[in-house]
């Protein structure tokens, strides 16, 4: 039996323009788009609200805090996944890559302990039909950690594993080119004394020297064999980008400098920036402002990173103020472009034949309001 839903009097945000009109969903797919207003019985009047493609999130580590809500506390995985999913969907995100840490430079971290639980929790909740958004697994691999290869091996052929990133949080490079900035961050986060911090840095530098290169090469080969899209993380220099290109990377996540962002753009990599950086007006660790990259035309994808609601808020923010970009351009950063980066060509755009992942939004100034969310034509929020 065919099911049909008609949305009318809506501002439809297409890839290249905003069209005031009607969109028809039939059997979970977009069936028609036109500039007329429908008078059909049962048509949903949007009252001039925006109708957007469902947002696509490539890198959020938000799930971890639901399984480890406080230091030393572990929460049941399936319950944590469902709580995380509710926030994701309420933010207008209909496709999400849950970025799960494989390895950590902090050996006391519980991340390694909950990795298997998180993957199993996502899979179990998905199989049970308990999730509003479409969840996939992004393995973010800490290449300096000697435990990483063993931890990742069992998940390489998991059916939900569809994206990976190469990370190295060794102090003095990438995210923390400045040792002083690294000191402020790590001593503040872990409550280290100055002596303890210096011992921490020495251990991390030794692990970087011993493990980073072989672990990176191993992960690159594994992803290449499985045709898994690969991202580099926190690139800071042209040399980092050259290494990424050599490794077949397709996304440069969170470049920390203008130099790295320019090099990534010129090399044809998709440049991914943090939405919280846009909302806050800059980086919390002193790195490049993502708004500047958008103004230069070097930004391809936004990620909510650690605040799901920031994704839509940042996209709207980029359409306002100095150096504003158009609404279609801003929305491509959170819909069409991340979908393409993940090789998901059935979503991310308002286009006939594509999956009807849709978000009704009202622009209320600083914080756009997500009013309703549909995935594959079914209302989830």
Instruction: Name which of 201, 216, 233 is nearest 146 in CA terms.
Output: 216
Which one is predicted more confidently, 323 or 204? Answer: 323
pLDDT at residue 190 in the model: 63
Question: Please, how many CA atoms are within 13 Å of residue 76, restricted to the half-sphere of its CB?
Answer: 5
Instruction: Name which of 337, 369, 374, 373 is nearest 355 in CA terms.
Output: 374
Q: Which of 147-151, 185-189, 190-194, 216-220 has the lowest mean pLDDT?
A: 185-189
The mean pLDDT of 356-369, rounded to a whole number, is 93
The mean pLDDT of 181-205, rounded to a whole number, is 70
The single-letter DSSP state of residue 219 is H
What DSSP string runs through 301-346?
EEE-BT-TTHHHHHHHHTTSSTT---HHHHHHTTTHHHHHHTT-TT
pLDDT at residue 125 in the model: 97
| pLDDT tens-place string over residues 15-48 | 999 999 999 999 999 999 999 999 999 999 999 9
The mean pLDDT of 250-259, rounded to a whole number, is 96
Examine the pLDDT at 279 and tell me if it is beyond 90: yes
Largest CA distance in the chain: 72
The single-letter DSSP state of residue 54 is P
> Does the CA dihedral 228-234-240-242 come out positive or negative?
positive
Query: Is the CB of residue 261 less than 8 Å from the CB of residue 293?
Result: yes
| pLDDT tens-place string over residues 40-72 | 999 999 999 999 999 999 999 999 999 999 888
Q: Which of 143-147, 253-257, 344-348 has the lowest mean pLDDT?
A: 143-147
Which one is predicted more confidently, 322 or 260? Answer: 260
| pLDDT tens-place string over residues 167-182 | 997 776 666 655 666 6
List the chain domain ranges: 54-348
- Residue 333: pLDDT band (50, 70, 90) is very high
The runs of H, that is alpha helices, within the chain are: 62-67, 77-90, 111-127, 148-153, 179-190, 194-207, 213-226, 238-246, 258-266, 275-280, 290-296, 310-317, 327-332, 336-341
CATH top-level class for 54-348? alpha beta
Q: Which of 91-95, 192-196, 207-211, 375-379 has the lowest mean pLDDT?
A: 192-196
Examine the pLDDT at 210 and tell me if it is beyond 80: yes
Percent of the chain's residues with pLDDT above 70: 92
pLDDT at residue 160 in the model: 98
pLDDT at residue 366 in the model: 78
Q: How far is CA 128 from CA 97, 121, 132, 218, 251, in A?
A: 18, 11, 11, 34, 32
- Residue 189: pLDDT band (50, 70, 90) is low
| pLDDT tens-place string over residues 337-352 | 999 999 999 999 999 9
pLDDT at residue 37 in the model: 97
Mean of all residue pLDDT scores within the chain: 92
| pLDDT tens-place string over residues 106-134 | 666 677 789 999 999 999 999 999 999 99
Q: Which residues pair with 146 in a beta bridge?
A: none
pLDDT at residue 113 in the model: 80
Cα 196 to its chain centre, rounded Å, is: 33
């Amino acid at each position: 039996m065919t099911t049909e839903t008609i949305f009318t009097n809506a501002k439809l945000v297409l890839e290249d323009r905003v069209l005031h009109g009607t969109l028809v969903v039939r059997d979970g797919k977009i069936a028609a788009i036109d500039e007329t207003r429908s008078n059909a019985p049962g048509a949903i009047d949007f009252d001039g609200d925006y109708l957007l493609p469902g947002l696509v999130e490539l890198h959020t580590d938000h799930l971890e805090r639901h399984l480890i809500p406080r230091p030393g506390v572990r929460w049941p995985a399936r319950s944590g996944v469902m709580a995380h999913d509710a926030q994701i969907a309420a933010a207008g995100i209909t496709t999400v890559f849950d970025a799960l840490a494989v390895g950590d430079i902090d050996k006391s971290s519980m991340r390694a302990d909950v990795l298997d639980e998180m993957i199993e929790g996502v899979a179990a909740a998905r199989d049970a039909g308990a999730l509003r958004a479409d969840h996939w697994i992004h393995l973010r691999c800490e290449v300096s950690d000697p435990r990483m290869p063993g931890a990742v091996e069992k998940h390489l052929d998991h059916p939900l594993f569809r994206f990976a990133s190469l990370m190295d949080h060794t102090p003095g490079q990438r995210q923390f080119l400045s040792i002083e900035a690294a000191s402020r961050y790590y001593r503040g986060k872990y409550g280290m004394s100055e002596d303890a911090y210096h011992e921490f840095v020495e251990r991390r530098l030794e692990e970087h020297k011993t493990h980073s290169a072989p672990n990176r090469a191993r992960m690159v080969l594994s992803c290449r064999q499985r045709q898994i899209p690969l991202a580099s993380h926190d690139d800071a220099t042209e040399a980092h980008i050259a290494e990424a290109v050599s490794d077949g990377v397709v996304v440069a996540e969170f470049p920390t400098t203008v130099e790295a962002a320019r090099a990534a753009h010129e090399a044809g990599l998709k440049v991914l920036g943090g939405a919280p950086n846009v909302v806050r007006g800059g980086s919390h660790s002193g790195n490049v402002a993502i708004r500047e990259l958008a103004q230069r035309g070097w930004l391809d994808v936004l990620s909510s990173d650690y605040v799901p609601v920031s994704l839509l808020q940042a996209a709207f923010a980029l359409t306002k103020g100095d150096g504003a970009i158009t609404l279609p351009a801003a929305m491509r950063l959170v819909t069409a472009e991340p979908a393409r980066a993940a090789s998901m060509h059935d979503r991310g755009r308002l286009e006939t034949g594509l999956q009807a992942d849709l978000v009704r939004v009202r622009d209320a100034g600083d914080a756009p309001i997500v009013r309703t969310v549909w995935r594959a034509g079914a209302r989830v929020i």
